[in-house]
Structure 1
Amino acid sequence: MKAVQVSRFGGPEVLEYVDLPEPNPVSGQVLVEMKAIGVNFRDVTMRANKFPPNLMGRSVPDTPFVLGSEGAGIVAKIGCGVTEVSVGDRVAFYHPEGASYAEKVVVPSWRLVPVPIDMDLEVSAAAVLQGLTAHLLTHLSYPIQPDDYVLVHAAAGGVGSLLTQIAKWSGAHVIGTVSTATKARFAQDLGADDVIIYTEHDFAEEVARITHGSGVNVVYDGIGLATFEKSLASLGRRGYLVMYGSASGPVSEVNTSIFVRKSIYLTRASLLDYTETRSELLARSEDVFEWIKSGRLRLSIYDRIPLRDAALAHRELENRITTGKVLLIP
């Protein structure tokens, strides 16, 4: 079978399109014939060997290794004892050790979620990691309330675009940050009340202006190091900083005394901790799929790229030109 592996750590050019033996599922595993593969910024950081050690239960393996953790396809073969799915089922998954940049992937059966017959597999592949993340951030990490002021970083990105929509229909005043005017228009179209182009304006100063100095109730931050201090400054009293990524690098040390001035809360959410059981995984995925099918949640697929051209997908993410999800198609 064909797969894309990291031959050595480095730039997009280290991604190689290779022939590998087809994996065979053992007890509790399923072989999935992939139809669409989600590309995430964590893939970029792993390829460059900048992934924080043991983040989300995984450290970077030795090279060569196959990238990827998300996708959708058809069950091709099942191992002993598998009861959750059958051959021919349409499924999607997020699995941190999924090695999903391949034509066929072995996944633990309990991590597979059924894809509704009236949902395109490409849409489901784009929805799993980012959709479930947006769900947990807005319903558990900090449940958004009507009239909250919410700051969403990267509001035109994969998770950010979903957070913007969920926050808006939850009755919040949504402030988004983006890097370009094109992305600003995209975020506004999704429902953002105010959009700050952070390359032109200091977002903390703009938040203070918009909120008349009161600050926001919650900041959803997948950027990390570059935004951390100003995200804290943007919060109001008893505000929540909900971190879920580190695109600019991890925040390595935190002086807890900085939380005293406004009684601030800080949490770093990981999807694995909110999908520990199959029942929890299914409940969240069913919610997200229903939101998409009903039209309540608009999922944007920015690009569909052949698997052999995975390096192009990584360049798109690194150059910050995407609005929505990038998929690889085997």
Structure 2
Amino acid sequence: MQQTARTVVIHEHGGPEVLRIEDRAISDPGPGQVRIRHQACGLNFIDVYQRAGLYPMEMPHALGMEAAGVIEAVGEGVTHLEPGQRAAYAAAPAGAYCEARVMPAAQVCPLPDSISFDAAAAMMLKGLTVEYLFNRTTPLKRGDTVLFHAAAGGVGLIACQWAKSEGIKLIGTAGTDEKCSLAQFNGAAHCINYQTENFAQRVAEITKGEGVDVVMDSIGADTFEGSLDSLKPLGMMISFGNASGSVPLIDIGILAKKGSLKITRPTLFTHIADHTVCQAMARRLFGKVEGGEVKIHIDQRFPLDQVADAHRALEARKTTGSTILEL
């Protein structure tokens, strides 16, 4: 008898109202695939971008990029996982909002027993993002200064702790005083409430006019110009998200005028495309968590059938830390 799994699917792009839960058939894994039964799923802004159409998808399509669970079956050629093994992932294609699925095995990672399924589902996409931001995008060393937007979000709270563990001074931004306090509690040296202060001016004050070595910006349109203004000469701007909308087109000459700045727009999925690199990144993340240097904050939990409410909360910036969908 063929198995089915409750799965969140969209048939058109739009608001949270387009999210539907359907029973979808799941098969045995083919070569290079696994079947994984989820225990928890993660919620991320990329899910919103895909649902809304900023990142267009063929319809109908399941949503979700991150989950943790138990391997039920492996296909031919899969050697790093076996049935009964705990595992977690952040990987394409979308489809993680479900009870179980068949998917490519290369980016599915063995999960240490010491890390819970909930924590793994909350941290894979966010934690691997922080890993590439701090270790693979531009050289960073102890004593460097980073401006990190949305410092009280899921990625941000991991970044605050990661920076502190490596001796990097992180200046965060957030939208309320409470969120700023949360970021500082988790390791930010400073946190600026961008609703009440001009963050670029405040960065200049904190750095005594020097600016920061690197900006890590997932907000996009609302913060882009101020982010460039916060960099020191030869500084690096890492634009890795569009929470407030896409960054407008710019005249590349502005980078020269503002101090020979550098800019990049990386994605996690480029970094983890190589199986060996992906597994190494996951081991580094797991090591940070197992060693106590990074604690995962799960501040919101929604049942799978309340996924639309979870999207509304995320888009309204009413969340802190990570959000998971419970199965």
Match of 2:313 among 297, 311, 316: 316
Asked if 1:260 corresponds to 2:248, the answer is: no
Q: How big is each residue's C-alpha offset from its partner over 1:203-258, in whole Å with a ceiling of 9 and x where there is no partner?
A: 11111111121111111101112111110001011111111111122225231111
Asked if 1:11 corresponds to 2:15, the answer is: yes
Q: Report the counterpart of residue 328 of structure 1 in structure 2.
A: 325
Q: How big is each residue's C-alpha offset from its partner over 1:20-77, in whole Å with a ceiling of 9 and x where there is no partner?
A: 21243222111110111111011112111122xxxxxxxx223322101111111112
Q: Report the counterpart of residue 286 of structure 2 in structure 1.
A: 289
Larger displacement relative to structure 2 (5-14 or 283-292): 5-14
State the one-letter code of the partner of 1:48: A
Asked if 1:42 corresponds to 2:7, the answer is: no
Asked if 1:122 corresponds to 2:118, the answer is: yes
The answer on whether the counterparts of 2:26 and 2:102 sit within 8 Å (CA) in structure 1 is: no
* Distance in 1 between residues matched to 2:21 and 2:271, nearest whole Å: 34
How many residues align structurally? 322
* Distance in 1 between residues matched to 2:266 and 2:12, nearest whole Å: 30
RMSD: 1.4
Identity percentage of aligned residues: 38
Unaligned runs of 5+ residues in structure 1 are 52-59
The answer on whether the counterparts of 1:33 and 1:74 sit within 8 Å (CA) in structure 2 is: yes
Q: How big is each residue's C-alpha offset from its partner over 1:77-100, in whole Å with a ceiling of 9 and x where there is no partner?
A: 222332221111111111121411
How do residues 96-175 of structure 1 correspond to structure 2 at under 5 angstroms? 96-175=92-171
The answer on whether the counterparts of 1:137 and 1:143 sit within 8 Å (CA) in structure 2 is: no
* Distance in 2 between residues matched to 1:307 and 1:10, nearest whole Å: 19
Asked if 1:251 corresponds to 2:247, the answer is: yes
Match of 2:303 among 303, 306, 309: 306
Aligned-pair CA distance for 1:170? 2.1
Which 4+ stretches in 1 moved above 6 angstroms?
A: none
State the one-letter code of the partner of 1:308: D
Asked if 1:269 corresponds to 2:266, the answer is: yes
The answer on whether the counterparts of 2:174 and 2:193 sit within 8 Å (CA) in structure 1 is: yes
* Distance in 2 between residues matched to 1:211 and 1:36, nearest whole Å: 41
Aligned-pair CA distance for 1:147? 2.2
The answer on whether the counterparts of 2:62 and 2:96 sit within 8 Å (CA) in structure 1 is: yes
The TM-score with structure 1 as length reference comes to 0.94
The TM-score with structure 2 as length reference comes to 0.94
Asked if 1:183 corresponds to 2:179, the answer is: yes
Alpha carbons of 1:42 and 1:151: their partners in 2 closer, same or farther (altered >3 Å)?
same
State the one-letter code of the partner of 2:66: E
